[in-house]
Structure 1
Amino acid sequence: MNLFVFGLMFGGLIFLATGGELLVRGASRLAALAGISPLVIGLTVVSFGTSSPELAVSIQASLAGKSDIAVGNVVGSNIFNILFILGACALVSPLVVAVQLIRREVPFMIAVSLLLIGQAFDGAISWFDGFILFSLLIGYIIWSIYASRQEREEVIAEYAQEFGSTKLPAQQRGMVLLLNIGLIVVGLVLLAIGSDWLVEGATSLARAFGVSDVVIGLTIVAAGTSLPEVVASIVATLKRERDIAIGNAIGSNIFNILGILGLSALVTPGGLTVAPSVVAFDLPVMIAVAFAALPIFISGLSINRWEGLLFLAYYVAYTAYLILAATQHDALPFFSSVMVLFVLPITAVTLSILLIHALRRRDWVKA
């Protein structure tokens, strides 16, 4: 049994690594061939594809009448994407932030997060709310592609420098295009299988050591649906495709709200119900994380290693709080007091100082 579990986990890791490599390679070359910036490919094709596990889980949960799982999956993934994925990528290598993200995508992510909490404030995301969210997703995709086409000449020149002449015969161009789409599809399939195997193996191993289902759900399963995003972003960072790495995390957050919750509310009779605890705690945390990304991105137009470490530390603190609350551990009151009285105020002051300095320099406006 143990050999099977370890084999399952090892196979999952191999599939994740291979799938991430194929996905990033196909996405970067598809972007160049189509004359679309790698950032937009990361914001759309890569991020939507790697969010497919969350989509499957949320729709299945919604149709089964388990709206809490559907909503919690999205909110938890959005917090994970910013704090863990960007934090881990920045530790691997400092990330250069495209000005487009600061001017368009991050404000849009914040706006749709605020829209979501406004819709959920009455305890439900209705069919009409879902229609609004999904319509915004369609508009966002069209807008992103149109905006990227304005940079077509620059992207084509970059492609010519890296991969050779862009003036390929029509038949050869079509074959290369299909090949890279195939790489993306195979990469996504391998990521999905790999994450499923790894989560199944890790869950079996955790149960063998007596870890409760509550803790397993809050940690292994919650992070498991985001494994494709983790691997895709880290592989993109290692391959110096940092636009794809950052775009994947931001784009996944936008897709999770507009696409996954929008579609889930549309297909679920009566819409989705939202637990009061999610409205009171988890959604405000998600919005706070979205807002926190802005000063980090603006300061120096990059995410440095210490900022990545800060993101990771907050994800660990958030996860620790969830586990302590779920198990009603005796340490919960002390942990909450430390976070509220010391950690959060210090972080708020630090982010405010970063934002003020960045606004004074106005680097992101001039760029």
Structure 2
Amino acid sequence: MDYLFLVIGLALLLLGAEFLVDSSVAIAKRAQISSFIIGLTIVGMGTSAPELFVSLSSALSGHGDVAMGNIVGSNICNIFLILGVSATITPFAIQNDIVKRDIPFGIFAALLLFVLANDSRIFNSAESGLSRIEGIVFLVLFFAYMAFTITKSLKNRSKEEEEEAESKLSGKPLPLLILIAIASLAGLIGGGNLFLSSAENLARAWGVSEAVIAITIVAIGTSLPELITSIIASLKNNSELALGNVIGSNTFNILLILGTASTVHPFSIQGIRIEDFAVMIFATLCTLGVAFSFRKYFFTRGEGIFFLVCYVGYTAYLVVR
């Protein structure tokens, strides 16, 4: 039954995220909010909602390893698997702003998470994990980054072609859109809890630690929306969108999701090892490396294959571990 509940929970997460995005976009367009703001905020939050609810529910239930492992594993999956698949299907150019602003900030966020989550090993403090103060620091950094990004993008908006956010629910009555948004949110919460509990039961049945399950199964499951979207974008020759989405999603995961989870309920970690954080940092650094290796500001197919090999190798290491 746990396998069935795992699938049902994942389905609720995916459907909930999809309908939350569509209903939110439709509501926002009714309020005449710009498509850029919709894409950067509402759509971004919707696609990262599975990670948010899994990590938040894990922290509240005292499973810090799952909360942290979900984010560490999702970030590794986003870079090595999703970008690897995207570049392997269709190599693409890397935007200048992403290289100069978003990638360096993503590296900073990953390094900050490593230091704060492993303070017991680095500074000989009581235990590893995230405190409420550290969570608040993450949230402040996130909203400052968002404010800076939105302000800068709005200034450059007149120079760029406006791209309207689309929603399958456009034109539906406003009361129906609100009901769909509420139902989607309920589906996300229920799916996150169901997915989490079944993953924990499977971890115990397999004799595998919660940390490894979180970094692999849970992380891949909550990253499926981004993976599917990136594959479709690559098949439509829009692979350049994948890099910006992944970098933004990873920063979102660390600063907003872990910031929210630890602010609501501080948690400790035991099963997430130094090498797991090291792989996440290495993956983040690789996004900068591909911008300057082989073809400058270009993600080649060979680099995409290298990313996939890294992901397979890391997953194999976790299974053996």
- Shorter-chain TM-score bucket reads 0.7 to 0.9
C-alpha separation in 1, matches of 2:108 and 2:43 = 22
Report the equivalent of 2:122.
Answer: none
Alpha-carbon distance, 1:249 to partner: 0.9
Rate the CA distance shift 1:278–1:16 in 2: closer, same or farther, 3 A.
closer
Other-structure match for 1:291: 285
Residue 90 of structure 2 is aligned to residue 101 of structure 1: no
The equivalent residue for 2:109 is 112
Taking a change above 3 Å as real, the CA distance of residues 262 and 219 of structure 1, as seen in their structure-2 partners, is closer
Matched, 1:62 2:59: yes
**Contact 1:76/1:222 (8 A) holds in 2:** yes
> Is contact 1:81–1:253 with CA below 8 Å preserved after alignment?
yes
Q: In the alignment, which residue of structure 1 is the partner of 2:78?
A: 81
Query: What code does the residue aligned with 2:151 have?
Result: Y
C-alpha deviation, 1:135, in angstroms: 1.0
Select which of 254, 259, 265 maps to 1:257: 254
Task: List gaps (5 residues or longer) in structure 2.
Answer: 120-127, 165-169
Alpha-carbon shift at residue 261 of structure 1 (Å): 0.7
Aligned counterparts of 1:88 and 1:50: Cα–Cα separation in 2: 19
Q: How far 1:99 moved relative to its partner?
A: 0.7
Separation (CA, whole Å) in 2 of partners of 1:65 and 1:212: 18
Deviation string 1:85-137 (CA, Å, 9 cap, x unpaired) is: 11111122112211111000000000111111121222131111000001111
Give 1:314-353 correspondences, 5 Å limit: 314-325=310-321
3-state SS of paired residue (2:312): helix
Q: Tell me, in whole angstroms, the C-alpha distance in 2 between the residues paired with 1:141 and 1:111.
A: 15
Q: 1:145 aligns with which of 115, 134, 150?
A: 150
For residues 241 and 20 of structure 1, do their structure 2 counterparts lie closer, same or farther at Cα, with a shift above 3 Å needed? farther
Whole-angstrom CA distance in 1 between matches of 2:274 and 2:213? 23
Question: Separation in 2 of the partners of 1:291 and 1:22?
Answer: 32
Aligned to 1:297, the other structure's residue is in SS state coil
- Measured in 1, the distance between the counterparts of 2:117 and 2:163 equals 44
Percent of matched pairs sharing the same residue? 37
Residue 234 of structure 2 aligns with an amino acid whose one-letter code is T
- How far apart are residue 49 of structure 1 and its match? 1.8
Deviation readout 1:232-288 (Å, 9 max, x if unpaired): 2222333444453222211110011101110111011xx22132x535211111111
1:232 matches 2:226 = no
For residues 159-170 of structure 1, the aligned pairs below 5 Å read none
How far apart are residue 226 of structure 1 and its match?
1.0
- Shift of the 124–238 alpha-carbon distance from structure 1 to 2, 3 Å rule, reads same
Could you say if the C-alpha distance between residues 43 and 240 of structure 1 is closer, same or farther in structure 2, counting changes exceeding 3 Å?
A: farther
Distance 1:89 1:43, change over 3 A: farther
Between the aligned partners of 1:116 and 1:68, the Cα distance in structure 2 is 14
CA contact (8 A) 1:43 1:252 kept: no
Asked which structure has the greater CA Rg, the reply is 1
Instruction: Return the match for 2:272 from 278, 281, 290.
Output: 278
Structure 1: gaps spanning 5 or more residues: 160-173, 326-367
C-alpha spacing 1:240/1:131, structure 2 compared with 1 (3 Å)? same
Secondary structure at the counterpart of residue 102 of structure 1: helix
Relative distance call for 1:58 and 1:212 in structure 2 (3 A) is closer
What is the letter of the counterpart of residue 67 of structure 2?
Answer: A
- Choose 243-252 or 312-321, whichever is displaced more: 243-252
Deviation by residue 1:155-182 (Cα, 9 ceiling, x = unmatched): 34677xxxxxxxxxxxxxx979x9xx99
**Alpha-carbon spacing, 1:67–1:23, altered in 2? closer, same or farther (3 Å):** closer
SS at match of 2:272: helix
**Contact 2:53/2:188 (8 A) holds in 1:** no
Aligned to 1:330: none
Q: 2:233, 2:242 within 8 Å by CA — same for their partners in 1?
A: yes
Deviation at 1:149, TM superposition (A): 0.8
Indicate how the Cα distance of structure 1 residues 216 and 109 shifts in structure 2: closer, same or farther if over 3 A, else same: closer
Q: How many residues align?
A: 294
> C-alpha deviations, 1:36-74, integer Å up to 9, x for none?
797x87664444321111111111111111111111111
Q: 5 Å matches for 1:182-221? A: 219-221=216-218
- The 3-state SS of whatever aligns with 1:300 is coil
Tell me, in whole angstroms, the C-alpha distance in 2 between the residues paired with 1:54 and 1:230. Answer: 14
Moved more, 241-250 or 65-74: 241-250
Deviation string 1:158-213 (CA, Å, 9 cap, x unpaired) is 77xxxxxxxxxxxxxx979x9xx99x979x88x969x98xx89x98xx99xx9979
Q: Tell me, yes or no, if the aligned pair for 1:85 and 1:229 is still in contact at 8 Å.
A: yes
Compare the two structures and name the one with the higher helix fraction: 1
d(CA) in 2 for partners of 1:47, 1:109: 16
User: What is the rounded CA distance, in whole Å, between the counterparts of 1:91 and 1:16 in structure 2?
Assistant: 25
1: distance between equivalents of 2:42 and 2:310?
A: 28
* Dislocated runs of 4+, deviation >6 Å: 19-24, 34-38, 210-216
2:140 is equivalent to residue 135 of structure 1:
yes
Aligned pair partner of 1:155 in 151, 154, 160: 160
- How much is the aligned-residue C-alpha RMSD, in angstroms? 4.5
Contact 1:116 1:257 in 2 (8 A): yes
- How many Å separate the matches in 1 of 2:162 and 2:254? 35
